[in-house]
Amino acid sequence: MMIPTSKLGTFSSPVKDWIRYKLSFSQLSHLNIPWGVLFAFAIWNLWKNRNSLLFSSKPLHSNLIEHTIHVSAEFYASQPISTATSSSSIQVNWEPPPDGFHKLNSDGCSKGNPGIAEEWGLIRDSLSRWVRDYQMNLGSIRSLAAELKALRQGLIVTQQCGVRCLIVELDAKLILSWVWGNSSNKVLTNLIDDCRTLCCNFEAIIPRHNYRDAKKCADHLTNLGVELPHELVILPHPPSSIRKLLLEDLMGHTTPRFVSTSCTND
């Protein structure tokens, strides 16, 4: 986490002006996170650690820099994209995979960051037929770790079903870039490497992004309100409450979503 060279001369400015200027600085830094975001979390974590040491005699965080980068990345990845570009409405929907392929939709979420988290995933075939659903309580972890654990478990369950060709569809672009792109995260390296290794067990695997609006079935399973156990729960058959949504997916039912014009041109 390096200070941009062009900003080294600002250290002679008055403290309030200096902080205000740093917070508004938008040049991209580590992991393509705006420097202002990294700076805000850096001074916040320094202040928290300083107070914990002075008032509670707690030792300083053993790896404050990596922790700062990690929480900055989670915050930045969770924010809606706000640009000056115009927006347009598109129709999003779940689509079945091509013949010979299965599709995995997975997700992980936490109530708080960190907080009590759960993972889930849904596997369907090229005829939109339900193959497996899996769910599990993950305890207290951060949301991005929950996303990766959900993907890892989905790859394991899919392989156990004998699937050889797979489409993985996620709404988290950051997870896609970590597992299939060139970016990474030092804190979550083990989970990322696990997912990459599991991907090698398939004859063909295709990662895709889709908006959360297209994952109504999976979201319904998450919101059933059942207190999940810490053991893995596998559902070989769909619960009755989800059959209407499965039928809508089969019929190609679409949902409108507003996106920036730059997204539609990607």
pLDDT digits (tens, 9 = 90+) for 209-246: 998 888 788 777 766 644 566 778 898 998 888 889 99
Q: What are phi and psi of 66, to 5 degrees?
A: -65, -35
Q: What is the pLDDT of residues 182-211, one digit of tens each?
A: 888 888 999 999 999 999 999 999 999 998
Full pLDDT tens readout for the chain, 266 residues: 555 555 554 556 677 776 777 777 667 776 777 878 888 888 888 888 888 888 888 887 778 788 788 887 777 776 665 555 566 788 889 999 999 999 999 988 777 777 788 888 999 999 999 999 998 888 888 889 999 999 999 999 999 999 999 999 998 899 999 999 988 888 899 999 999 999 999 999 999 999 888 878 877 776 664 456 677 889 899 888 888 999 989 888 888 887 766 555 55
Tokens read off for 187: 């804190």
Residue 10: what pLDDT? 55
The pTM assigned to this predicted structure is: 0.66
Domain 92-264 has CATH 3.30.420.10: yes
Domains of the chain, by residue range, sit at 5-78, 92-264
Tokens read off for 50: 């300083």
The C-alpha atoms of residue 90 and residue 256 are separated, in whole angstroms, by 6
Comparing CA positions, the residue from 78, 16, 71, 73 lying closest to residue 48 is 71
Name 189's Cβ contacts closer than 8 Å, sequence gap at least 6: none
With pLDDT > 70 as the criterion, what percentage of the chain qualifies?
83
